[in-house]
A and B are shown apart, each in its own frame.
Chain A
């Protein structure tokens, strides 16, 4: 099915490409670089938190005098690092990796399509992502520094902030545009470009997760896009969408029209940001489902309930946003509504997790490196999801809101949750994309130390939050109750630095494996889904012959079959 093309030059083939695989890899590399950068920001913050007022080793001498005082971090810089760490990890790291990289690379392959429905739109969405990312990074060089009002950019604080915040808003405009274009592309691709015989309920769970994610992106992001423009107007054009009357900052009255509401920003922001957290987790769940199915040699248990749960989760995710706002002074009627929807939304998550866990029963489990990460995802996501329960109820949230418990909760879901799923995906699909295997030993070292340090970072945070320590504090030891929990902070910081070191085997593996002599077979994991029907690596156009689908996605160990797997694309018995 490869089309006849004139041979493209280097730029058209690798830089300005419309091929979903090249774009997927571009997204992947860019996102990994941004993830590393965001991680570096946190490592600096971790020093200040563990050893407040001490000069930062290695980099302290390199930073400017608005950032450090004789090497020791200053509060304004800490706030910049905090805001940008969150922004970079969420919008420039995880979403581009989970959706832009894995989605773009794998979805057309898994549905038997030669490319995405709109290849040039795909390229445009990658370029918008890069521009948005650069705008965000460049903001560190501004005289007032980068944005420093949290990744949540609450008004009025963000309206009064330095020009870094304007860059944040501009960067968001590009990043959101990128996701909107991508989301539309995924929806059309998945609905229209499925191979013959690939009905919806024969789709791999990963494709379902990307479909629901795409709907979340397309329907939720416009709220933040609009809100970002409104906030930019408040900052630059003298409007007061989010500024009430009578504000006095630093002893002088604020020259604004007034009459606006800070809560309006929060509603618009969280209307996106709650579905956004499902965008962060769903592709990861999809990858874990694929890896578990392949490595248990049996169908996923409860595929249909899992799919229905995905759809229900996506739908409900639009109705829970104000559980981030319980403390804003809302009345009991509103908070009851959102507590109910929040409790209900935990059900589909539990269903998906439980189905994945039950899939292990009666299996024949193999433990290659991707499976290690996928298995670890299960309890880690379990902890993350469970710790959402006290936060989802208003009364316990009164104590835990904006504390380290919240940080522990969402990081458990995203860090040893989604990022482990991302690693599982990289190790799993590496042979298909590069034609080589990653080194197993390095992979195992990478896994075990990452698993250890991830828990070393985020479990202490649960206790810190219980002890009452608030988040976003430049120097928590100001508070006596936080000083008592300082040992936990030190544990977290050393684990964070350990986690950084634990990635070294992965980086070595990454570059070393690409150049190995020994090639992998076309279907080294003996999997059943369509992406394994292509040559390795897949050429432009993906499939040699147009694939036809004959059965479901996880037909492993079918009674009476010759082998322990029956691929979707093989017409057996003919």
Chain B
């Protein structure tokens, strides 16, 4: 039986609707990268300036309770010989500086296309703790998440710009390699182990190489900058971000200081 006029019309309408839907799906399936891919290729000869400094902490070292792993997962506690570890949220160094502060050039380094470093950024799970606690990596680079612990972990990345991920790693599991395609440093992405709630790390994904994390001396150094004016940000997971504008001349070096205080 030939289709009725109504059925033919409906069929035609369906074909059109399907075509429109297909186009829409194709479009939304390919997210645009978050920065223009066409910056000028970077010329290393231009990177002659350096900004360095330290991040100080003003005030009494805040109290924190050591992590009791034994009650929750004996295998974790055994990896530290039963000695309780301190949380890495706020570490004030002996010289009064703040550790694990992510310092980076927030603006001023646009317009360049920097080559990606070889290899992946690494996040290790050792002794039921993440190492490093805070790190930076390059947009387009991959993060290789490794485990050497005898107990199962579950890496949960809370991406606000990059896609969130939630992957299990039983003991001896292969590395989980996640490509970070978009900038995410305001704030850096939090990574957490779902199984061991005290395990946290932060990963900042940056489009240029001008970033550092303060260590035991609370110091940072950003070399190979082209001369100019920059806004630098120092970010701490508990105390947030703090900005400073710095102008640096050709072949020159500037030293700045950030000071965080315990929030009331």
Give chain A's interface residues, CB within 8 Å of chain B.
Answer: 9, 53, 66, 69-70, 72, 74-76, 144, 250-252
Contacts and interface: CB of A to CB of B under 8 A. Distances in A.
A250 B200 CA distance: 10
Interface in B98-125: none
B181 interface: no
Nearest to A75: B168
B192 A250 contact: yes
A144 B166 CA distance: 9
Nearest to B171: A53
Contacts of A66: 167
A250 B170 contact: no
Contact of B1 (A9, A72, A76, A250): A9
A76 B153 CA distance: 12
A251 B190 contact: yes
Contacts of B173: 69-70
Question: Lowest 4 A-B CB distances belong to which pairs?
Answer: A74-B168, A69-B173, A250-B192, A75-B168
Given A69-B169, A69-B170, A69-B173, A252 B158 contact: yes
Nearest to B176: A65
Contacts of B152: 75
Chain B, interface size category, equals: 10 to 19
B174 A70 contact: yes
A72 B1 CA distance: 54
27 contacts: A9-B1, A53-B170, A69-B168, A69-B169, A69-B173, A69-B174, A70-B173, A70-B174, A72-B170, A74-B167, A74-B168, A74-B170, A75-B154, A75-B168, A76-B166, A76-B168, A144-B166, A250-B156, A250-B190, A250-B192, A250-B194, A251-B190, A251-B192, A251-B197, A251-B200, A252-B158, A252-B190
Contacts of B1: 9
Nearest to B197: A251
Contacts of B166: 76, 144
Nearest to B167: A66
Contacts of A144: 166
Nearest to A6: B1
A72 B171 CA distance: 12
A164 B233 CA distance: 39
A252 B156 CA distance: 13
B1, B170, B174: most-surrounded residue (chain A CB, <10 A): B170
A9 B169 CA distance: 55
Contacts of A70: 173-174
Nearest to B168: A74
Nearest to B192: A250
Given A69-B168, A75-B168, A144-B166, 11 more contacts: A66-B167, A69-B169, A69-B170, A69-B173, A69-B174, A74-B168, A76-B168, A250-B194, A251-B190, A251-B192, A252-B158
Contacts of A53: 170
A500 to B, nearest CB: 27
A251 B202 CA distance: 13
Nearest to B1: A9
